[in-house]
Each structure stands twice: as C-alpha cells, then as structure tokens.
Amino acid sequence: MTLSQTLIARAAQVRVSRAARSSKVSGAAMALIAVVLAALPFLVFSTVTDTLVNLFVLIALASMWNLLAGFGGLVSVGQQAYIGIGAYSVIALADQGVQPYLAVPLGALTCALFAVPTSWLAFRLRGDYFAVGTWVIAEVYRLLVVRIDGVGGGSGKGLAGMSGIDQTLRGALTYWIALALALATIGGCYLLLRGRLGLSLMAVRDEETAAGSAGIDVTRAKRLVYLISAAGCGAAGGVITVSSLSVNPDSIFSVQWSAYMIFIVVIGGIGYIEGPLLGALVFFGLQQVLADHGSWYLVLLGAVGIATALWLPGGLWGLVRDRTGLSLFPVGYHVRDGGGDVASR
C-alpha cells in the first residue's frame, strides 16, 4: 500500500463529533438531576426549596458574568445595574396588573432594551476603564431609581399581586421559576457557544485585532453577548423580587452582586460553562456553614479567592478538566481515530 493510500485509509477511520462519550453519560445524569430538582417541592419542606432559590439565582448570575467576561472578554463590575432594572421592572409591571411571575421574563426583556443604549456608552471604554465605567453606570441607574417616587424612591417598595396566592403554592412557583432560570442560563450559554457566535466570541476574547482581520464583526459580537448577559441578570433580579416580595435600591443595586459573580467564576473556573455551576455550589456551601461567623466568613472567602487565583488559575473545574479530561458541556470538537479520542479542541 502506498503512502497516499495509507493516509486515505487512516482519514476514513477518523470521526469528528461535538461530544465525547463521557459527556453523553454526564448529560443524561444532569437531566436526571434536573428532574429530581423539579420534584423537590413535593418531597421536602419549603425551607429547603426557599434556600435553593438563592443557589439558583447565584448560578444564573455567575453564568451570565462568565459568558460576558470568560467568553466575551468583557470584564464588567456593573452587572448589578440590570439586576436592579429587572427587579424594578417586575415591581412596575405588577403595579400595572401584570402577574408577577409573568413579569419576570418581561423584566429580562426590559433589561435587554436598556442595555442597547448603555452598550453604546460602555463600549467606548477599554480594559480597566470598561470595568470601572460599568460600575459607574450602575450607580447612575441607582440614583435615577431613587428619585422615582412611583417605585418607592430611596426606601424601596413591596411587590403587588402576590397576596391572593397560597403561601405554599407561591413558594413552589418561586422555586420552579428560579430553577428554570438556572437551567436556561446554563443551557443557553451551551447552545450559544456551540454556534457561530460562540466561536466569534472566543476569537474576540483571545485576540480582538486578529478576530476583526479574520472578518468577525467584533462590535456586534460584543453587543449581543452584553445584551444576553443583561437579560439574564434582569431575570435574576426579577426572581429575587418575587422571592423577597419587596425591593430596596441600595441592596438590589449593590456592587456586592458583582463581587459574588466574580468570586464564584474565579473559584469555579472562568471560561468553562461548568465553572459557575461548581463555583456557586462551593460559595453557597461556604455561605451556609460560615455566615454566622461574622467577619471571619468574609476573611475565609477572601483567602479562598486569593488562593484560587494564585495556585489554580483555571479554577476548580480547570483542575478537574486537567486531571480527568471531563467536559460536561463540550463546545469544541473531539476527534476519534478507531477506538478512542486522540484530540480535543
């Protein structure tokens, strides 16, 4: 057999797929976990589901920040602007007679609309200036809301339209919409990153100039991911509102939300879809165990964040990926030659 015939025969044995065998098994396991989580209101006390609502909100927020910074290269410290806008949109729509749970996706749409003119301003900044600029924009939105008496001004406002719902049913509905938000943000990131926009984003993140010279519309890709992230954070703000039944401008527009997102993504693994999920679980566990320890809780969080940044630049999931090769949400390509994987991209 000649060399060319050998190469042709070898190429015929090569198969390219978007998922490894382990990914398919883990996908089935995660689907089963999602079904179990959906059934929890029928299996456990409401105190458990009420606590899990906070976890789902953290997963959604961290996934949106990871999409923005980890895949789009846009490091924002002002995503709390859209959490606040989403929360107040639910308040305003409920005052107009819209059912609060239906107002949550409408609040996400409102945030996407607000993000359009905001992006024109924010994208004039680069690097550190962009990060600081987004925080300033969030503060401007907070100051504007404080001056609107119709939504309670500086003292905040309660959520209308929930008094007629049974408390047990209300808790279950809030849990389900929070779970749906977490699943939608993870699944949405996965589907987006497997498409052309995902490839464009990662090219822009790695080298913006080279991506532009290759024909990628850099500004369009950035703006799209910024709008998607804004909508996701707005939906999370709406869930926070229907869970707490009220909103306060100082807390909902607090930069602490961005600090939570950044911490979760850093310890979980920036640039991995799995990173926010693992990081949120770790952060949530630390909250539950150490929240009653006052300042020591904050000290430990800071120590964990610093240690991860220094010794695990890829985060916890980066460590798992290096050791096992496992990918729950593969967005690259797997090349199989005969019986096994020979390369992953």
Give residue 338's pLDDT band: very low, low, confident or very high (50, 70, 90): low
Kindly give, in sequence order, each residue whose CB lies less than 8 Å from that of residue 238, ignoring residues fewer than 6 positions away. 86, 87, 89, 90, 103, 104, 105, 107, 108
- Write down the mean pLDDT value for the chain: 87
Residue 214 confidence (pLDDT): 79
Q: pTM above the 0.75 mark?
A: yes
pLDDT tens per residue across span 226-252: 999 999 999 999 999 999 999 999 999
Residue 226 confidence (pLDDT): 95
Q: Bigger pLDDT: 330 or 231?
A: 231
The answer to whether residue 164 scores a pLDDT higher than 90 is no
Amino acid at 323: R
The answer to whether residue 28 scores a pLDDT higher than 60 is yes
Question: What is the rounded average pLDDT of the residues 122-139?
Answer: 92
H, E, C per residue of the chain: CCHHHHHHHHHHHEEEECCCHHHHHHHHHHHHHHHHHHHHHHCCCHHHHHHHHHHHHHHHHHHHHHHHHHHCCCCCCCCHHHHHHHHHHHHHHHHCCCCHHHHHHHHHHHHHHHHHHHHHHHCCCCCHHHHHHHHHHHHHHHHHHHCCHHHCHHHCEECCCCCCCCHHHHHHHHHHHHHHHHHHHHHHHHHHHHCHHHHHHHHHHHCHHHHHHCCCCHHHHHHHHHHHHHHHHHHHHHHHHHHHCEECHHHHCCCHHHHHHHHHHHHHCCCCCHHHHHHHHHHHHHHHHHHHHCHHHHHHHHHHHHHHHHHCCCHHHHHHHHHHCCCCCCCCCEEEECCEEEEEC
Cβ atoms within 10 Å, residue 271: 17
Give residue 7's pLDDT band: very low, low, confident or very high (50, 70, 90): very low
Residue 158 confidence (pLDDT): 93
Residue 11 confidence (pLDDT): 46
Compute CA distances 314 → 109, 307, 311, whole Å.
33, 12, 9
Residue 169 confidence (pLDDT): 92
The answer to whether residue 345 scores a pLDDT higher than 60 is no
pLDDT tens per residue across span 289-328: 877 777 777 788 888 888 888 898 889 999 998 888 788 8
Task: Select from 19, 14, 15 the least CA-distant residue to 328.
Answer: 19
Q: Say how far apart CA 328 and CA 310 lie, in whole Å.
A: 25
User: Hey, what are 85's tokens?
Assistant: 């806008």
The answer to whether residue 170 scores a pLDDT higher than 90 is yes
The answer to whether residue 343 scores a pLDDT higher than 50 is no
